[in-house]
Amino acid sequence: MQQARLTRWPVYGALLLLLLVTVWWWPASPYQPTPLAKLEMQCFQETVPLPWSWCLHRYQGSDNPDVLYYFHGRNGTARWWNDRDYHTGQLYKAWEKDQLQPPTVVSLSFGKLWVLTEDKAAPFGGLYRVFSTVVIPTIETRLQQQLPPTASGQRLVAGISMGGFNTLIVALKHRGYFAKAASLCAPLATVSHHDSLAQLRAFIHNSGIRLKRAAMLLMFSLRFYSDKSLWLQNDPMALSADFNAEAAPAIYLSCGKQDEWGCSYGSRLLARQLRERGAEIQWQSRPGGHCDIDYEAVARFLQ
């Protein structure tokens, strides 16, 4: 009887993995944002060196010369920034409440699921190299054509969830370009699928992450970090070990205490490591779950 139970475990494991794959890759229902009345939006489709899209958002009456690069969450699009009812719409309400002028916003997308990984073996050296060597110059050239000559303010970067993860990669690797980086509710694992079972168990116990989310993060690791060297070169937790604060942006990092992705545990450790290495960082713990955001604090930070 005991032998029969043991032989069934691989079957159960395979079924669980199949279920998780289905949940992770099943296409989300199309979401239609409700546009903000005062926000002018132009969107562009690019094909060089691979397909990517971006939208330019300008708030009527704002003379703020700054430009904010924005990365969306999983299953999102570049158009998700212009949404009255989404987190981004709440930022505009906070800017209005505090009588602050919103920056020009560039929302960027490489698809539903993407990570700015630097990988010499990947096409074009990975999406991080595409972002830094192609996307930024392309967008900045277009901005010179679209914006008045006085729009020469600082460059900012922000992202939500998966976008917050990408924001941290940019903040830790792309020095001297962005003045500020706001990473909101980024799922941050202190381990990868390359670590031992004991280390994985310890992370699940210490972080309070739900098992379903832990399995999804492991699949995320399997897809984007095929070997450990890639994880060490690209994951924010790994990058923080060798962080150099010189020419790095100021960082705003926040997460809900009840976040089911284990974000609170990872972001607290990341903030401590970066602060020890001289980073200018604001870490805010929120009482709620995933993407519980203090919009007024973020709005003030991005000024």
Q: Is residue 26 part of a domain?
A: no
Q: Is residue 30 part of a domain?
A: no
Q: 240, 172 in Cβ contact below 8 A?
A: yes
The whole-number pLDDT of residue 151 equals 60
Using CA atoms, how far apart are residues 15 and 88, in angstroms rounded to an integer?
38
Q: Is residue 252 part of a domain?
A: yes
Q: Is residue 264 part of a domain?
A: yes
Q: Is residue 173 part of a domain?
A: yes
Q: Is residue 178 part of a domain?
A: yes
Mean pLDDT (the chain) is: 89
Residue 174's domain comprises 37-301
Which phi and psi (to 5°) does residue 202 adopt?
-65, -40
The whole-number pLDDT of residue 29 equals 59
**For residue 129, what is the domain's CATH number?**
3.40.50.1820
Q: pLDDT of 125-181, one tens digit each?
A: 999 999 999 999 999 999 998 887 656 799 999 999 999 999 999 999 998 999 999
The whole-number pLDDT of residue 27 equals 52
Nearest to 158 by CA among 236, 70, 91: 70
Beta strands in the chain (DSSP E): 39-46, 52-59, 67-71, 104-109, 155-160, 178-184, 250-256, 281-286
Q: Is residue 202 part of a domain?
A: yes
Beta strands in 60-114 (DSSP E): 67-71, 104-109
Q: pLDDT of 199-246, one tens digit each?
A: 999 999 999 999 999 999 999 999 999 999 999 999 999 999 889 999
Q: How many domains does the chain have?
A: 1
- Least confident interval from 24-38, 68-82, 93-107, 127-141: 24-38
